[in-house]
Amino acid sequence: MIILTLKVLTQTMSPSASHLDSLRTQRFKVLSAGIASLVLMLGIARFAYTPMLPLMQDQAGLGIAEGGWLAAFNYLGYFCGALIAASISNLNTKDRLYRLGLVVALITTLGLGLTQNFWLWSLLRFFAGLSSAAGLLLGSGLVMHWLLRHKLRTELGIHFMGMGAGIFLSALFVYLLEPYLNWQLQWFWLTAAGSLLAVTAWLWLPKPDVSGYAVDGSKLEDQPPSKTFLRVFMLAYFCAGTGYAIIATFIVAHVELMSVEPGMGMVVFMVIGIAAAPACIVWDLIARRIGDLNALLAAFILQFSGMLIPLLSPTLTWTLVGAALFGATFIGVVSLVLTMAGRYYPTRPAKMMGKMTLSYGVAQMAAPAMAGVLAQWSGSYSLSIGIASGFMFCGCILVYWLARQQ
């Protein structure tokens, strides 16, 4: 009876309703592909290094300064990936590089468990950075281009859930398997999990339409901001990148160093991931109510607060509060900035996304290496986190100026 009813409904469904149902299915697949790509290329290939860092220091002989340099090589790869994304306009080329990034993410994750050579690790982290740029910039650009063509909401909050989910799942994975698997086997199992994600990310993201027109026949036209706006925007994003890179790289090691209870660093990192997973959708809703720049200013201020709280009151409770604030905002900053970039350039969203990420990437290359050296010299990460907070405060001032220009 149920099957017969469904058949009747299908046969009597109007063409417009049938088209809407098909569009919803396509939208679900495209967003799922985007989420899967971010969990793989960001959560596993990039962010799993943070919860794995103390394990590699303990079991593989990785030094504190070397840990910072590996992060810097990863960000160098990300920076080079952003350069590539900013320099190419052909959507088919972007699609091919996106798919290549999926393969590279798996190879570099597997490779980290196959060697203990620092220079091979550095090379692998560099290519993992290239892969993460393919996921965050090219993948996000392709998803946004598809949404724009189909006249759907262009907020990327649902898509960027993949970053928060990737952080949480990679930390949870390491936390649960640490008692049973050594550091090498953990990288192998992360690769196996990533392989399943790669299938969805590859098959469910369709080839891009290069016509330059939406499905209703309207032409997609760019609306670039002024040069002054763009320069200040990029400088503010540079400040955010400095703050993010140091916290995201060393928060687990910092908490493990300061805490009397082992394993608390992993818990803090999972809190960051839990807070980050729904954050982009929340920031999309906030931006819809108060405007993009006002929402961005709020995210900057709250991220600054989340970075400062553990320094002012380094108890576990306040560290968890700071971690939740950081997780809920750093990904919101990225989501808001890249969504704004896509709206300014609907015909080539990854191009301005790449330019914005260049400023973010410069900070990410220099900051972890500096933080690692300072930590080795001072015996803690507190000084580095203080410097990161100072940069974030400067970013708040710059975004406030941009918001006042509206």
Q: What average pLDDT does the structure give for the chain?
A: 81
The residue with greater pLDDT, 356 or 303, is 303
Cβ atoms 163, 44 nearer than 8 A = no
CB 256 within 8 A of CB 380: no
pLDDT band for position 5 (cuts 50, 70, 90):
very low
Q: What is d(CA 71, CA 62) in angstroms, rounded to the nearest whole number?
A: 12
| Residue 194: φ, ψ to 5° | -65, -30
Length of the chain, in residues:
406
pLDDT tens digits, 332-344: 898 888 888 777 7
pLDDT of residue 126: 95
Q: What is the DSSP letter of 39?
A: I
Asked if residues 42 and 162 have their Cβ atoms less than 8 Å apart, the reply is yes
Measured between alpha carbons, how far apart are the two ends of the chain, in Å?
59
Using alpha carbons, select from 140, 130, 127 the residue that is nearest to residue 33: 140
User: What is the model's pTM?
Assistant: 0.75
Residue written as token pair 């049973």? 180
Q: What is the dihedral of CA 360, 243, 327, 296, to 10 degrees?
A: -60
In this prediction, residue 79 carries a pLDDT of 82
The string of pLDDT tens digits covering residues 90-100 is 888 989 999 99
Architecture of 27-204+224-404 per CATH?
A: Up-down Bundle (1.20)
Cα–Cα distances in angstroms (integers) from residue 71 to residues 3, 75, 83, 248, 265, in the given order: 55, 6, 18, 10, 18
Q: What is the pLDDT of residues 74-87, one digit of tens each?
A: 888 988 888 887 78
The number of beta carbons lying within 10 Å of the beta carbon of residue 202 is 15
Give CA separation, 12 vs 18, 92, 141, 146, in Å: 10, 38, 37, 29
The pLDDT of residue 96: 94
